[in-house]
Amino acid sequence: MRPVDLVVRFEWVAAAAVAIVFYAMSGVSWWLFALLILAPDLSMLGYLAGPRVGAVAYNALHILIAPLVLGIAGVLLAGPITTAVALIWIAHIAIDRALGYGLKLPTCFQDTHLGRIGRERADTP
């Protein structure tokens, strides 16, 4: 793995840690965290309709825009549960990225914007 890849993964570990710390500060039950941490992965069911539909469904729940908007709405509207759900969602995305799981390409589940899952990148020395 290239040094720049390690730096990027470390950045995502830091993002996950920040989301989890903010969640802890929210005072919302850890049961909610446990219940929802893997919820975005239900989008993988889209792959039952083929790789193109699967990639769209997966990517829709694995980009940061939606949870960031949800989190801002939760803060502005004083909705602690809304904010907590957004933090769980952000933590999920950040953990995925730290593990090397990127946004999916329409070719197959293993092809991501970070490279192919399951083997080293071709440009790795």
Residue ranges per structural domain of the chain: 3-116
- For residue range 4-61, what is the model confidence (pLDDT) as tens digits? 889 999 999 999 999 999 999 999 999 999 999 999 999 999 999 999 999 999 999 9
Q: Does the predicted model carry a pTM greater than 0.85?
A: yes
Q: Hey, is 113 helix, strand or coil?
A: coil
* Beta carbons within 8 Å of 2's beta carbon, 6+ residues apart: 121, 123, 124, 125
Cα distance between residue 26 and residue 11, in whole Å? 23
- For residue range 45-56, what is the model confidence (pLDDT) as tens digits? 999 999 999 999
- For residue range 68-112, what is the model confidence (pLDDT) as tens digits? 999 999 999 999 999 999 999 999 999 999 998 999 999 988 998
